[in-house]
Structure 1
Amino acid sequence: MSALKWGQGKGKGAAGPALFSLPLSFDHFVLPRVLRRPVRILARLGEGEFQAPRFSAAIVSAVLIASSGAYGAYLGGHADGIVQSITARTGFAVDQVKVVGNRQTSEIDILDRLELDGWTSLIGFDAEAARERIATLPWIEVAAVRKVYPHTLEVRVEERQAFALWQQGSDLSVIEKDGAVIAPFSGGKQVLLPLLIGAGAPAKAPEFLAKIEKYPDLATRIRGYVRVGDRRWDLKLDNGITVKLPEDGEDQALAELVGMDHDKGLLSRDIAAVDMRLSDRLVVQLTPEAVTQREAALNEKPKALKRKPETKI
């Protein structure tokens, strides 16, 4: 039987096993299986029968020094740096970054938020912290950073939707449909966005621009939407004409404006402004050149009448 039993089959004066000169013999007592081997080794060590393996002292010392160093690095806050350094040099250094979904945001700005240093380990890289940094970029609405082992980072972003340009004094910004400012105007395709001018314009623009969309020919000619006193709109056309819409009845005024332009070419004439603020009349303001030409024509008319020869009967 392989079980370690002490006190069985031995005389009263028999000496049992001992550990460091301490008797370990108890009548009819069996050690648990887990403890049998360690106790045997300790017993042999105490009797001088067990010899430690070669270089065991050096190995134990190295383990002790390494453990002390690791603990010191942990207390000093350098553990992450050690892990980064070791894993980066064993094939896990980030050497490829894939960016998906960016249109207005440059890849350089995204890479800058990742804070890679050339020896950044994918294992120790904090993807959540990087995602939070990328989300602070002006155009980013949603960001996700994923590790693809052994050495790739994948960044997916969803950007905010530009609705219009908003001018306040000398400041020109890109805004969302709800009026939230995204970023300063930077040119490019942003010039194609509708231009809103004046305080209160962003709040009223979505509803008003939906009305303008009903008249595509007019919409293509508008270069600016000016909010006046946060009460009404002026339209700045591509040929310099200003259309002053009334405070109430915008839909009817727009329909009449488009009708007169279709029938009489109103918006193609040499005029400076069309004032529709009065409900019972429409006022047209001529350009300075048109005024000069009209005055000259009026002055020339009497002279022409005087030069007209009399007819003899």
Structure 2
Amino acid sequence: MKQSGGRGKAPPAPPRRRRLPRHVRHALLWSLLVIVVISGYGGVIASRTAVGQALLAQSFDQFVAATAAFGLVVTDIEVEGRETTDAATVVAALTAARGTPILSVSPTRAKEQLEKLPWVRSATIERRLPGTLFVRLIERRPLAVWQHGGLQQLIDREGAVIPVEDLSRFARLPIVVGDDAAANAGMLIDTLANEPELAARVTAAVRVGGRRWNLRIDDVIDVLLPEENAEAAWSRLAQLERASTLLKRDVQTVDLRLPDRLVLRVNAAPVRETTPARKAHSSGKPA
């Protein structure tokens, strides 16, 4: 209310509201608390019977419909961390389109549905009232192609299989071979990443005896890594390659299993055919 000008007579003070006595206020507060507890207990009891569950579900649906009438509906869906998963697939997993009552969206159920998608490792869903659903995804990152038992499967860093049927777009990823190769691939990739130039030439890695790796470089040369100190052996090979282009020679196998030496096996040199010399005649005349 705006004040008028001049020094006119001051308006009378509004009458003071009478406060209820303290004992009355305490009684009302305790009564309200008892009603809430009894209602909650009644809901628990009712949920144990089929009829009670149906009544609770009906009451909840009516409550959600009432909140929608007051504007608590989905108006926006924000997704963070999505790189590979299709946006329409995320919305379908949420089972929530624009206009859906936001309180009808179960974050727990939506999380379960999203984490069933091939590329989603974990998901978090928040209802940000009045109308925003916020989704945070952590997607799987393809690490290698796992070859075992006649199958080829895409795996992530943890060795979990990413259920993708078409592997053609992952042709540049290394192939790891062996029953336990997937579980140990992450550590191997970390070792190779210490020498990125040489790592880019690795086309396959074979797990040997559950203890060590054999690498295939340029799809031609086999490199036998040791069971222990594989990182040091890999760095030593990279240094030799930078200094003398060792792997660009006619090498078949590089054995790094011995810590104090490097054993090379080279391809056998092709046998050259020689033309037999003519025998000279004593007469000096051609035969």
TM band (smaller chain): 0.5 to 0.7
User: Which has the larger share of helix?
Assistant: 1
Give the gaps of 5 or more residues in structure 2. 1-23, 25-50, 281-287
Cα–Cα, structure 1 residues 93 and 213, in superposed 2: closer, same or farther, change >3 Å?
A: closer
User: In 1, are the aligned partners of 2:159 and 2:184 still within 8 Å (CA)?
Assistant: no
User: In 1, are the aligned partners of 2:74 and 2:97 still within 8 Å (CA)?
Assistant: no
Percentage identity across paired residues of the two chains: 29
Corresponding residue for residue 122 of structure 2:
141
- Per the TM alignment, residue 113 of structure 1 is displaced from its structure 2 partner at its CA by 1.8
User: In 2, are the aligned partners of 1:100 and 1:156 still within 8 Å (CA)?
Assistant: yes
Residue type matched to 1:144 in 2?
I
Q: CA RMSD in A?
A: 4.0
Q: What CA distance in whole angstroms lies between the structure 2 residues aligned with 1:262 and 1:237?
A: 15
Corresponding residue for residue 59 of structure 2:
79
Residue type matched to 2:94 in 1?
L
Q: TM-score under structure 1 normalisation?
A: 0.56
- Per the TM alignment, residue 216 of structure 1 is displaced from its structure 2 partner at its CA by 3.1
- Per the TM alignment, residue 283 of structure 1 is displaced from its structure 2 partner at its CA by 1.6
User: In 1, are the aligned partners of 2:194 and 2:235 still within 8 Å (CA)?
Assistant: no
1:235-286 per-residue CA deviation (whole Å, 9 max, x = no partner) reads: 1223533333455664565456445544553322455x31527757422235
Residue type matched to 1:227 in 2?
R
Cα–Cα, structure 1 residues 243 and 148, in superposed 2: closer, same or farther, change >3 Å?
A: same
| Residues 196-205 or 123-132, more deviating | 123-132
Corresponding residue for residue 154 of structure 2:
173
- Give the paired residue count: 226
Corresponding residue for residue 276 of structure 1:
255
User: In 1, are the aligned partners of 2:203 and 2:218 still within 8 Å (CA)?
Assistant: yes
1:233 counterpart = 2:213: yes
Map of 1:181-220 to 2, 5 A cutoff? Answer: 181-184=161-164, 187=167, 193-220=173-200
1:155 counterpart = 2:135: yes
Cα–Cα, structure 1 residues 184 and 198, in superposed 2: closer, same or farther, change >3 Å?
A: farther
Map of 1:54-65 to 2, 5 A cutoff? Answer: none
What is the SS of the residue equivalent to 2:146?
strand
Map of 1:1-313 to 2, 5 A cutoff? Answer: 75=55, 77-85=57-65, 87-88=67-68, 91-116=71-96, 119-138=99-118, 139-149=120-130, 151-160=131-140, 162-168=142-148, 169-176=150-157, 178-184=158-164, 187=167, 193-247=173-227, 250=230, 253-254=233-234, 257-258=237-238, 261-262=241-242, 264-270=244-250, 273-276=252-255, 279=258, 281-285=263-267, 294-295=270-271, 297=272, 299-300=273-274, 303=275, 306=277
User: In 1, are the aligned partners of 2:225 and 2:256 still within 8 Å (CA)?
Assistant: yes
Q: TM-score under structure 2 normalisation?
A: 0.60
Give the gaps of 5 or more residues in structure 1. 1-33, 35-70
- Per the TM alignment, residue 196 of structure 1 is displaced from its structure 2 partner at its CA by 1.9
Instruction: Look at both structures and tell me which one has the larger radius of gyration over its CA atoms.
Output: 1
Cα–Cα, structure 1 residues 111 and 249, in superposed 2: closer, same or farther, change >3 Å?
A: closer
User: In 2, are the aligned partners of 1:93 and 1:119 still within 8 Å (CA)?
Assistant: yes
Q: What CA distance in whole angstroms lies between the structure 1 residues aligned with 2:76 and 2:279?
A: 90
Cα–Cα, structure 1 residues 94 and 256, in superposed 2: closer, same or farther, change >3 Å?
A: closer
1:89-143 per-residue CA deviation (whole Å, 9 max, x = no partner) reads: 6644424322122223322222122112665212443334323433443423241
Q: What CA distance in whole angstroms lies between the structure 1 residues aligned with 2:257 and 2:69?
A: 78
Q: Which has the higher contact order (CA 8 A, sep 6+)?
A: 2
User: In 1, are the aligned partners of 2:80 and 2:136 still within 8 Å (CA)?
Assistant: yes
Residue type matched to 1:243 in 2?
V
Cα–Cα, structure 1 residues 117 and 275, in superposed 2: closer, same or farther, change >3 Å?
A: closer
